[in-house]
Amino acid sequence: MQGGSPGSRPPRAFTKKRLLDASIIISALVALSAALYCFSIGFFIIVPHLFYIPIILVAYQYPKRAVVFVGVLAAGYFAEVLFFSPGNGIEIANALLRIMIFFIVAIVISNLSSRLQVRESRYRGIFETSGAGIFLFSPRTGEVEEMNQQCAAMLGYSENEGLSLKVPTIWPGYTGLTGALEAGRLDGLDCNLVARDGTSSAVLLSANLLPDQQEGCVVVTGTAELKRMENHLRRSEETLRVILDTTDVGILLTDPGRVIVDVNAAAIRFFGGAGREDLIGLNPYDLVVERDREAWVAYQERALHGEAHVSGECMFYRLDSPEWPAEITITHFAQDGTAPGRLVISLRDITERRRAEKEMREENRRLFITNEVIAAAAASHRLDDLLPATLEKALALLNLDIGAVHLMYPGDDLARLRASVGTENFPLSVQRDEPPYRHVLVDGEARFVDRFRERYPGHDNPGIQSFAAVPIPGDAGPVGCITAASRIRETIPESERLILAAIGEELGNAVVKGMLHEDIEAALASANRYLGEANAATEAANLYVDILMHDINNANTAAMGYLQMALESTGEPPRDIVRKSFAAIYQSNEIIRNVSTIRKLKIEPASLRPVRLDPVIRGMRNYYVDTSITWEGPDATVLADDLIGEVFTNLIGNAAKFGGAGVEITISAREEGDAVLVTVADTGPGIPDALKPHIFERYQRGETRKSGKGLGLYIVWMLVDRYGGSILVGDRVSGRPGEGAAFMLTLPRYHPAVAAGEPND
C-alpha cells in the first residue's frame, strides 16, 4: 500500500519507495544513453521504446509530477534526434509523434495512479483509525506484514516492532486454524492473543484471506471492555430488577401482541400470583373487569398512537377472583432496531384511597344529614314541634319509611310516644324494660335488625324489612329513643347506622332542653292557674264582702231610717216614707238575689232542660205590677234551667230602675230554626254607643247614679252564655240611643225529639 506521510509509513513501504525512485532514475539514464548510442550509429527504430519504462514508473509513483518529468525526458530525446538526424523531416516527425504518445501514456497512467492512491489512502485511513486491531500477514510465510496502531497497542508493540513477527507468536491458535482459514472466513472467534510481555488478552477475532490469496487480514476486538460493559449491563439489570421488585408500583411489560412478557413483584402481589409464571403469557385484557374493558382498550389505543403516559383507573380481577381498583399509566416504547416494541403498564393499588374517599363521602353525608336534622331541631324549643320536624327530616334524608320518638321522664318506667311518621300504629307507651327497648332505654345501646321478617316471622307488623332503635341520651341516662324502619330495604348500612346514632346523640341536648322547657311551662301554668284561682277567690270574697258591707248595709240603713221616721211621726205614717222603706228593702233583696245567682253559676254545673218562656215572662209581669210590660210572641220552649228567670228579672229591673215610673217595656219572641230570638225593649233613657261594647262587663253601670253594683247585666251575659246562646244590645229605635234600649237574646230552641233520645237538630 502507498500514501500517507513518510513518517507514518512502515519501513518496508519506505524501502519499496526508494527502490522505485532508483528504478526511475536508472531507467531514464539507460533510455537516454541507449538512444544516444543508437542515434549515433544511425539506428532510430527500437530505442525510443525504452523511454516508456521511466514514464510509466514516474506516472505510477508521482502522478502529479509525471507530465513535468515526461517533458524533461522528451526534450532530451528530441535533442538527440535533432542532433543525430540525417536532416530529413521523417525522423523529426516520428520523434514528435512519439513524444505525443509519451505524454498520453503519462497522463493516462498518472490518472489511474491518482485514483488508486485515493482509494488506498481511504483504506489506509480505515486501517489506521479503526477501533479494532488489524494486521495483515502472509499465509505462505506466516509473517505479519502490516499492523495498525490499535493492534500494536493492544499487544504492547510499537507500530514498526509488530512487523515480521510470526503469526503464531501473537496468535497461538493460528497453526491449527490454517486449514479452516483457507477453506473460508473465520468470524467471531473467541480466542487469546499473546502480548509482548507474554500476557494473554481475550479477543474476539475475525480472519479471512484477501482475494489474491497472498495476504490474510485479521481483525481483533478486545473483549475486556465488552465484558466490562456486559457486567455493567448485568449489574444495571439486577439493580433495576431490585428496584422494580421493591417498589409498590406494579409493572406489566407486554409485547405488541399484548401478551405479558415480564412483571415485577408488586404486580404479582396485586394479582394474587405465586410467581412470574402465573402472569407471563396472559393478556392484560383478560384481567380487566368486564365493565372497564372498553376503557382499557381506549387507553391502549391512545398510547399506541403516540400519546405519552396515558393515565386512568380500572378494576382488575385477582387470580383468586376478588376485584381490586388500580390507577394505571401506559407508556409505549416503539420498536428500535432489533429492540422490540413494548407497552409498559404501571399499576398502583388504590383500594385504600377509594376506601378513604368512600369514608370521606360517608362522613360528609353523615355531617350533612346530622346538620340538617339539628337545624330542624333548632327551629323550635317545643318538643311537639321539634320532634316531628326532626323525625321527618331524618327519615327523608335516610330514605326510611316509618319512625317514632318515645320520651321517658325521670322516675317514669314508661316511654311515651311524642312523634311518629308513617301509617303504622306505634304504641302510645312502652315499658323501659320491654325488649328490644330495654337495651336502648336502660343500657343506652343502639339496636339494629336486618331482615326483620326472617328474624321475627310472627311479628304483628310483617311489612317491616329492617328496624333500628337508637337512644336519646340525657344527663343521667337515656331520656328516650328514636325508632326507624323500612318496608323496602332489608338491611340498614353501617354508614346509616352511624348517622342514626349521631342524630340520637345530637338530639339529646335539644330534647333535654325541650323537656326542661315543658317542665317550666307546666310549672308556670300551674302557678298561673293557682294564682288565677286565688285571684278569683279573692275577687269573689272581696265582692261578697263589698256587697254585704256596702250595698246591703246602705239599703238596710236607708230602710231603717225611713222606718224610724215613720215611728216618730204622729198619726198615720206618710205613704211616701213607707214606699221608700219598701224600695230599700227590695234593693237589698235584689242584691242578695244577684249574689246568690253568681254563687250558683260558679259552683253548680249547667243542667239544661225544656223551659217555656210564657210562664216565666208572665211571672215577671205579676212581680213588676207597677211597670208596663207587654209580652208578644209564641209560647216558645228553650233549653235552660231554673235560673232563666234571672235573665228577665235583671233586664226588666234595669229598665224599671233607669226608666222611671212611666217606662214601657216590650218583650217579643220568634222561632228561627234551632234558636229562639227574644227582644227586650224599653222607652227609658237608652244606652250611649260608647258604653254598649262594655255594658255586660262586671261592675259596669250606666250614666245614671242609681244604686247597684253593676251585676245585673253581667249575670244576664253569664246565664245566656251558660245556655249556649248570645246577647247583644242596641237601640229601640235604630240610630236614636236616647229613645230607649233593646236587648236581643238568642237562646237554643227545644225540640220534642230530644226527649226520645234523638239529636236536637
CATH number of the domain enclosing 573 = 3.30.450.40
Average pLDDT over residues 692-698: 83
Of the residues 228, 259, 293, the one at which a domain ends: 228
**Tell me, what's the pLDDT at 748?**
94
Enumerate residues 6+ apart whose C-beta is below 8 A from 502.
366, 370
Q: Is the pLDDT of residue 1 over 50?
A: no
CATH number at residue 290: 3.30.450.20
pLDDT in tens, 45-81: 656 777 878 888 887 888 888 888 888 887 887 787 7
Q: Is the pLDDT of residue 703 over 80?
A: no
Category of 633 on φ-ψ map: left (φ > 0), alpha (ψ -120 to 50) or beta: left
Asked whether residue 460 is domain-assigned, the answer is: yes
**Tell me, what's the pLDDT at 705?**
39
**Tell me, what's the pLDDT at 43?**
66
Q: Is the pLDDT of residue 701 over 60?
A: no
Of the residues 228, 258, 289, the one at which a domain ends: 228
Asked whether residue 570 is domain-assigned, the answer is: yes
The most confident of 28-32, 514-518, 637-641, by mean pLDDT: 637-641
What percentage of the chain carries pLDDT values higher than 70?
81
Average pLDDT over residues 101-116: 83
**Could you tell me the pLDDT band of residue 579, with boundaries at 50, 70 and 90?**
low
Q: Is the pLDDT of residue 709 over 60?
A: no
Among the listed ranges 276-290, 320-334, 692-706, 722-736, which one has the minimum average pLDDT value? 692-706
Q: What is the dihedral of CA 434, 435, 440, 442, to 10 degrees?
A: 50
Q: Let me know whether 380 and 479 are in one domain.
A: yes
Q: Let me know whether 224 and 213 are in one domain.
A: yes
pTM score of the predicted model? 0.41
- 191-215 as b/e: b if 16+ CB within 10 A: bebbeeeeeebebbbbbebeeeeee
Which grid cell sits at 406? Answer: 318515645
What percentage of the chain carries pLDDT values higher than 90?
10
> At 340, phi and psi to the nearest 5?
-75, 160
Regarding predicted confidence, which is higher, 585 or 129?
Answer: 129
Q: Let me know whether 464 and 559 are in one domain.
A: yes
Considering only CA atoms, give the Rg of the chain. Answer: 70
Which grid cell sits at 13? Answer: 513501504
> At 488, phi and psi to the nearest 5?
-110, -55
Q: Let me know whether 473 and 546 are in one domain.
A: yes
In this structure, which long-range contacts are made by residues 92-96, counting pairs with CB atoms below 8 Å and at least 24 apart in sequence? Answer: 94/44, 95/48
Asked whether residue 242 is domain-assigned, the answer is: no
Q: Let me know whether 293 and 334 are in one domain.
A: yes
Q: Taking all residues of the chain, what is their mean pLDDT, rounded to a whole number?
A: 79
**C-beta of residue 74 within 8 angstroms of C-beta of residue 103:** yes
- Residue 198, SS3? coil
Kindly tell me the burial class for residue 733, based on how many C-beta atoms sit within 10 Å of its own C-beta (0-12, 13-18, 19 or more): middle
Q: Is the pLDDT of residue 209 over 80?
A: yes
Count of domains forming the chain = 5
Of the residues 228, 261, 281, the one at which a domain ends: 228
pLDDT in tens, 148-173: 888 888 888 876 776 778 888 888 88
Q: Let me know whether 712 and 585 are in one domain.
A: no
- Residue 431, SS3? strand
Q: Is the pLDDT of residue 8 over 50?
A: no
Domain range for 190? 130-228
Q: Let me know whether 24 and 75 are in one domain.
A: yes
Alpha carbon of residue 649 to chain centroid: 84
**Tell me, what's the pLDDT at 598?**
65
Q: Is the pLDDT of residue 9 over 70?
A: no
Asked whether residue 679 is domain-assigned, the answer is: yes
Angstrom distances, CA of residue 307 to CA of 301, 330, 332 = 9, 9, 8
Asked whether residue 234 is domain-assigned, the answer is: no
Q: Let me know whether 283 and 383 are in one domain.
A: no
What is the spatial distance between Cα 236 and Cα 78, in angstroms, rounded to a whole number? 79
Q: Let me know whether 302 and 163 are in one domain.
A: no
Angle, CA of 690, 691 and 697, to the nearest 5°: 140
Asked whether residue 714 is domain-assigned, the answer is: yes
Angstrom distances, CA of residue 23 to CA of 111, 273, 664 = 21, 85, 188
**Could you tell me the pLDDT band of residue 86, with boundaries at 50, 70 and 90?**
low
Q: Is the pLDDT of residue 517 over 70?
A: yes
Q: Let me know whether 663 and 715 are in one domain.
A: yes
Q: Let me know whether 111 and 16 are in one domain.
A: yes
**Residue 295, Cβ neighbours under 10 Å: how many?**
15
> At 475, phi and psi to the nearest 5?
-70, -35
Q: Is the pLDDT of residue 592 over 60?
A: yes
Asked whether residue 707 is domain-assigned, the answer is: yes
Q: Let me know whether 498 and 515 are in one domain.
A: yes
CATH number at residue 627: 3.30.565.10
How large is the greatest C-alpha to C-alpha distance in the chain, in angstroms?
A: 237
**Tell me, what's the pLDDT at 459?**
65
Beta strand pairing call for 628-632 and 664-672:
parallel
**Tell me, what's the pLDDT at 558?**
57
Asked whether residue 402 is domain-assigned, the answer is: yes
